[in-house]
Chains A and B, each alone.
Chain A
Amino acid sequence: MNKANQNNEEVRLMKGNEAIAHAAIRCGCDGYFGYPITPQSEIMETLMELEPWNTTGMVVLQAESETASINMVYGAAGCGKKAMTSSSSPGVSLMQEGISYMAGSELPCVIVNVMRGGPGLGTIQPSQADYFQTVKGGGHGDYKMITLAPASVQEMADHTVLAFDLAFKYRTPAMVLADGIIGQMMEKVVLPPFTPRWTEEEIRKISPWSTLGKRPQDKPNVITSLALQAEEMEEINMRLQARYREIEKTEVLYEEINCEDADYIIVAFGTTARVCQKTMEIARAEGLKVGLIRPITLYPFPKDILKHYAAKVKGMLTVEMNAGQMVEDVRLSTCGKIPVEFYGRMGGIVPSPDEVLNALKSKLIEI
């Protein structure tokens, strides 16, 4: 890496996984803890190559498992530090316990899931089959996790930074939910400028709950998700739910293309949204008025914009690399006002623009 340019924004060509590593160092991340798994191993490999402990002081540690990784993140996050981990689907399944604990203990952190096909050991090819696990709460208990779905290498970098911001704003875990394509493909990316890591004085101000050691004037800080009294536990749940409502009100992000005059709207995220953008262009060339809505936050889900267009279009097609998961949220958002159809491929297959167009025609237009 060109060290002379480290302090500024920098235009580079790199893999999505590499962009995450660079963005993490640049945004002042304090610690990364991970375990190798395809197709995201380049994240830790890049970090180990860049040796940020010699520059920003960021700690990078290869753990013995994903279970250990997420709990190392728990420990670091409990100290008010910006901590993250990354994995792919089977590894993220192992992390669910830790994610639930972090949600319950109100700890901010960033988890990157570069999804691969499942269930089980599945395949190393790209997939979007962890949508339910991510946005519906893969671990136990009533919690929600802010979920960002990058569709480009640029967004891999941007979302890493944004995920930390949101995680600390709401004291909650945030996930960057990518897939194997976004992780592996190379694109131009503008890397964010360098932001210094927080000092302990800053951490005590930003996160007064953090366990940095009880000074004589402080009460002890305790990071826990345990409350044996039912009333107390309900109160904690109500506090979390109030925060989720705030997130839903404030943090929705989506991209909308050609929807104003559209008769049909395709809804897709991540890699699939890129495929569907091409579908939309082909359809438009054929004279079909097709628009695209790409949810960028999967939680909070962009319900309102879908509800808005439900009153204007003839139908929507949700396209995913799974058996149909986000489509349920699209249907809930559109309240049954219009037909919402689904087209998906599974097991690591990426649908082509043509097959999506055929699906659009056969399921919505030519019936």
Chain B
Amino acid sequence: MAKFKGAVVVNTERCKGCDLCVVACPYDVLALSKDANSKGLNFSYMSTPDNCIGCMACATVCPDACITVYKVRNDL
């Protein structure tokens, strides 16, 4: 079991669906949604949230600063 448990919140209106966070995520947490935002862009979302360890890789590479990351120790 991973030491940390994480979760991300994507600002779906700000997200342009560039897919870079999906590629950067080492645990395949993220995917592009079938739904689109008001600009018609398929935003990123946590498709397998259980895998997230809050490593911030997605937020670090996100060109639009639309990902907020939360993280807790798993043993707590």
- A and B directly contacting (CB within 8 A): no
Interface residues, chain B, CB within 8 Å of chain A? none
